[in-house]
Chains A and B, each alone.
Chain A
Amino acid sequence: MKKILTIIGTFVLIFNYVEAQHARVVYDSTSVKMEESGLSHVYNHQRIRVLDYQGCKEYANFKLDYDPQSAYVEFKEVLLYRKGIAEPITIDIDSIYDYVAPARLIYWGASQKMLLIGHLNPGDEIEYTTYRKGFTYALLGDDSKYIPPMRGHFYDIVPFWSELPIEKKVYQLELLKSKNIQYKVYNGELIVDSVDLGEMVRYTFTKQNIEPIKHESNMVADNDVQCKLLLSTSPDWETKSRWFYGVNETYGSFVSTPELSSKVSELLVNAKNELDSISILTHWVADNMRYAGISMGTGEGFTLHNAQMNYTDRCGVCKDKASLLIAMLRAAGFVAYPAMTMAHERIDRIPADQFNHCVAVVQRKDGTLQPLDPTWVPNVRELWSSAEQQQGYLPGTPEGCDLQETPISPAEDHYIKVYAISSIDKEGNLISTLSITAEGQSDAAVRRVFSSQKSEWFNNLHQELRKIDPSAQLIELQHTNPEEYLQQPITITYSFKIPHYAIASNKELVFVPFSARGIFSRAMGHLYMNTDQLERQYPFADACSRLVEVNETITLPKGYTKAKDFPKDVIYNDSAASFQSSYALDENIFIFNQRVSLNKRVYEAADWPAFRNAVNSQKENMNRYITITK
């Protein structure tokens, strides 16, 4: 089981690439022996060839990560083969550096053992054998601290993919037959061999010539598309769910304190209904408990900090924020549980712990469990961030739950609307009042213009306008109070003028509707996606589903009533994405409408043509000139 961490919801744009390879893995062999208790002994044997000086730099030190409270690691043997010399140099494995690893945000004392290999030259090879027992979270003392908290069980997630070429990779597991291991190979094939050893059984999984794939921009996680092996002795997700419930109930994570209960009463004094109460508590935790993890010692990583600690410290990681929310919901009379999830990566059916994030669920009056994420909703008008739609999660309940998946969030819930009322005079001067309003994740994206210090807000808002046209001259600026984000969707209204905006000849005005040009594109991540590729091999992801609506009415001088070569109306509908735009002229009133609907967060490769078409259509309108004549 991995520690439950939080992946911060950033969206990185990358283009098709294969990482430059500075090293090559000659072989990578892992041998695991599992004891009845679940304790596993892991031996890893690798040989790596460095190919250039960058590789020499990367492998000048060799490090093993571990949590000293629950795992033990050691270097068994490290050999250095200088290029062209058969006899290896034995590296002194007693001269290790053992220290708490550099960290930001999560300060649990995760450690490293580092061995200095030293100066390398291209062509040198390093061969090492390491040993590990235990897990990556804290348990009890003595050898028992290495036994997993779900005692007697074992799981592993083994990537058979790599950013480095691997000539041969082998993973071997030996365990009691009675453990009934289940495994599955995803996204590829492995050579699988099993040997009956009497009471024990040994499985061997092998793959040769693993080459890094060519990544596509915005593609989903590597584990979703590249070859991996999942193994688990846990019979089903329900068992895991019951365990997760039990471990935190036993610890008393959600027991309220008088001080906390009093705070809950104070917060809910004006609550209007069930959902309002849930919202007040979720956003109070989101806004008032900082994301900074400190260690509770024994149990850290999988145990949720208790209410006393969370309310006093006012800081913690995702699991601790979820824990405080659960304690507050329970203090308010709700039934609430913790849940594990995997941000931005698929959870497959084999019940291995594919989790990197923790949230809460609350039982509504109709009996349904509603997920809540206090970590991802500071300044977001949601209870569950739709940046996590189409994502698996597992509530920890007394009865046990199967794996759940958050539904697609309709694009309409994440609209960004740009409305403008404008006029252009005979000289081409534009005067406009333009409003941007947004909801859901688009609201959060627009609202980020206020994430800097207050004294910088005005300048940042002004820059958004001037990014579109540096000649824009502001006349008036209004916005809703960004700090009261639950009160209403964000609205920002600019009044501005741009001298000589349109090309003005004796009888014609030529211009691009200002509203079409992508103001507040910070909330339209799709405009930054590389759409050069006609087809995709892999599924891809956007930050969230999204609806973009643009409407502009431009009053032209009297007599300018004829449209010249007007673009045709476009209506394009697909389940993945749709696009509509129209240009109309009613006497001297010009009207532009555009609607872009991107309907999911995670798309199949087959969705790409529809998605690409919608995005490219919007991009084309950003530069499409309109001619109106007398």
Chain B
Amino acid sequence: MKRISFLSLFLSLTLFVFAQQPDAEYKLIRHSYTINADGSMDYRFHKELVLHANRAMTAYATNGETFILYDPLNEVLTINDCYFVRPDGSIVETPANAFIQQLPSQCENCATYNGIREMVIVHTGLELEGTIVLDYTIHSHRFLNEHLYLVDDYPIKRYELTVNADPSHRYFIQPENLDRIQYNTYGDKGSFQLIAYNLPKRYVGQYLPNDNDLYPHVYLSNITLQDMERLLPKHSSISGNEEIKQFAQQFIKEDLAQTIKDIRNYVNDNLTIAKLNTSLILPNRLDADQVYRTNCADMLSQVSYLESLLSYAGINSEIDWGYVPLQVYEDQHYVIVDPQRTRIHTTIDGLPYSINPYNSSVDVRLENTAKDAVKSIDITETLDFNPDTITSHYAMFTIPVDPRGFNVKFQYITPYRDAPVKCRPINENYHYTVQLPAGVKLLNSVKKSFGKEGLGKVEVSITQKGQTLDIQRRLVIAKDMITISDMVTFYQIMNIWDYTSRLTFEL
């Protein structure tokens, strides 16, 4: 019997750490990029994954397979090594029938990208405490346009990132959030190496902060802003195709914002979108005629197509590709493409509006008035007494809160949580007065205050005077991310906020 004891909750409110072995562990992950004199690139990947638990390899776990996406018409994939090292040291070579080249599901129903392939490698012979070893190279003419997170589902003992470039080519590397890990960097002109050690596994849980805030990560780019503006112009060139024009114009309504939204939603919901890595599609963006004819696009062409349809519908707009700007290096401004940051700007009644091309549920928004998260709520009201009757003599009343209020459900927060919580700062104040019917008596009056400077606080006062109920509740959260060291205090604040939200009455 596994036994975990807590003398009492608040005695044991220190970080609970499980010191057990992980289900699997990477002995090594290595990414190597070599930019050749002719501009081509060799990307080499190496991994060694040790399996410690059945969960990491059997049942329907996917760790037993590796999926490699590439374009065999323009790129060459070479498997350098692929085998399994049994615990006794013997080697099981992966057989030929365990390498399957198939259409990736991202390209399903998309004739344009039917040439892209996914190499599936089914790792065979797996046993506990054995090691999956894989090493492959892709020779391509891709741009260097990568954003690597130094994290995986399992801990990584050693992580290597190497970039080598011919002197005729330049690139830029921007590591971030490395301060919390053990690492070394090496390099001179043309070469760069980062070696990191003992990287923890990816966090699991609700309300996780963005990966950029959680994990060490590295941007790699050889695309300058100038190059990018050439590759991804703000306006798509349109051919004047009458059929597309007629098609676009059927969406026109008097309400311009609605027209824009309807065209965006048509593109977003009724085209097949091949969600491929931008480095794979970047040089060959599709024009509007191709997208219209095939009814499919990649994420970048989708935006160009939307801009083209707006243009055909007589609406001027321009694309903000939302590059991730990296630091200026040797007078060059390198960038990374991140489709999720892309927006389309237009003008309605002389005012600037923008639209998210990928999300059909958001409206066209006036710029600079993007819906900010509510930071402060102040409500003073007189409430009717409409409780839920639970027996003939007792009733329960849930104190209302503004739905725009604090967004973290208490159920998912425990004092032992080992992952930070993403939230948003808030200051919620409620003052309610409730006139109780004759004879009704509050059973759980409360006056409580708790908090920590810089983190937040809760203040609650619920009292009955005669048949008047006075409810004052205040929740202040000062941070947008709750760190693990603040978790216990945060839990205590949320616990008070939660249990004082329900009042019981004797009828």
A: residues with CB less than 8 A from B are 8, 53-54, 56-57, 60-61, 97, 99-105, 107, 109, 112, 114, 116, 118-121, 287-292, 294-297, 312-315, 378-379, 451-459, 462-463, 466-467, 470-471, 473-481, 483, 491, 497, 499-500, 503-505, 508, 510, 565, 625, 627
Contacts and interface: CB of A to CB of B under 8 A. Distances in A.
Contact of A295 (B21, B97, B125, B394): B97
B294 interface: yes
15 contacts: A57-B295, A99-B102, A100-B101, A103-B120, A107-B122, A116-B294, A119-B292, A312-B125, A314-B124, A452-B55, A454-B21, A475-B9, A480-B2, A481-B1, A481-B2
Interface string B385-407: 00000111110000000000000
Contacts of A315: 64, 122, 124, 126
B4 A313 contact: no
A287 B56 CA distance: 12
B450 interface: no
A270 B504 CA distance: 61
Nearest to A57: B270
Nearest to B395: A503
- Among B92, B95, B390, the most chain A Cβ lie within 10 Å of the Cβ of B390
A459 B205 contact: yes
Nearest to B8: A475
B1 A479 contact: yes
B60 A452 contact: no
Given A60-B272, A296-B97, A454-B23, A107 B120 contact: yes
B506 A100 contact: no
Nearest to A300: B97
A583 B20 CA distance: 43
A476 B114 contact: no
B54 interface: yes
- Among A8, A294, A296, A475, the most chain B Cβ lie within 10 Å of the Cβ of A294
B295 A102 contact: no
A462 B416 contact: yes
Given A118-B295, A478-B4, A100 B103 contact: yes
Contacts of B103: 99-102, 112
B204 interface: yes
A54 B270 contact: yes
B104 interface: yes
Given A294-B97, A476-B4, A61 B109 contact: yes
Given A102-B108, A475-B5, A314 B127 contact: yes
- Among A116, A453, A456, the most chain B Cβ lie within 10 Å of the Cβ of A453
Contacts of A289: 58
- Among A103, A314, A479, A491, the most chain B Cβ lie within 10 Å of the Cβ of A314
Given A105-B60, A294-B98, A313 B124 contact: yes
A107 B23 contact: no
Interface string B48-81: 0000011101111110110000000000000000
Contacts of B53: 453-454, 483
Contacts of A504: 443
Interface string B278-315: 00000000000000111110000000000000000000
Contacts of B271: 57
Interface string B107-126: 11101001000101010111
CB-CB nearest 6 A-B residue pairs: A60-B295, A102-B105, A100-B102, A53-B270, A473-B9, A116-B111
Contact of B98 (A313, A451, A510): A313
Nearest to A98: B114
Contact of B100 (A294, A453, A463, A500): A294
Given A102-B102, A477-B4, A458 B18 contact: yes
A463 B411 contact: yes
Contact of A290 (B111, B126, B394, B443): B126
B126 to A, nearest CB: 5
Interface string B454-488: 00000000000000000000000000000000000
B412 interface: yes
Given A112-B103, A313-B125, 17 more contacts: A57-B295, A61-B295, A102-B102, A103-B120, A290-B126, A291-B59, A294-B95, A294-B122, A455-B418, A475-B9, A499-B499, A503-B504, A505-B394, A505-B441, A565-B392, A625-B391, A627-B391
- Among A112, A119, A291, the most chain B Cβ lie within 10 Å of the Cβ of A119
Nearest to A95: B111
Contacts of A462: 414, 416
Interface residues of B, number: 82
A107 B100 contact: yes
B139 to A, nearest CB: 22
B22 interface: yes
Nearest to A477: B4
B201 A455 contact: yes
A565 B391 contact: yes
A456 B124 contact: no
A109 B201 contact: no
B444 interface: yes
B58 A290 contact: yes
A432 B23 CA distance: 33
A471 B499 CA distance: 7
Contacts of B127: 288, 314
Contacts of A453: 22-23, 53, 55, 153, 201, 204
B329 interface: no
B58 A288 contact: yes
A291 B394 CA distance: 55
A53 B268 CA distance: 12
Contact of B443 (A102, A491, A503): A503
Contacts of A491: 1
A625 B396 CA distance: 12
B435 to A, nearest CB: 21
A553 to B, nearest CB: 22
A266 B4 CA distance: 36
Nearest to A56: B270
Contact of B59 (A295, A379, A466, A476): A379
B393 A627 contact: yes
Interface in B149-174: 153
Contact of B204 (A57, A456, A480): A456
- Among B60, B127, B444, the most chain A Cβ lie within 10 Å of the Cβ of B60
B60 A8 contact: yes
- Among B108, B109, B295, the most chain A Cβ lie within 10 Å of the Cβ of B295
B6 interface: yes
Contacts of A61: 109, 111, 272, 295
B476 to A, nearest CB: 20
B495 interface: yes
Given A500-B444, A627-B393, A458 B16 contact: yes
Nearest to B296: A60
Nearest to A105: B60
B265 to A, nearest CB: 10
A97 B393 CA distance: 72
B111 A455 contact: no
A54 B270 CA distance: 6
Given A60-B295, A379-B59, A483 B100 contact: no
B387 to A, nearest CB: 12
B14 to A, nearest CB: 14
Contacts of A295: 97, 100
A470 B497 CA distance: 12
B498 interface: yes
B105 A455 contact: no
Interface string B1-40: 1111110110000001010111100000000000000000
Contacts of B153: 453
Contacts of A57: 270-272, 295
A482 to B, nearest CB: 9
A483 B294 CA distance: 51
Contacts of B8: 475
A533 B252 CA distance: 44
A454 B20 contact: yes
Contact of B114 (A99, A104, A288): A99
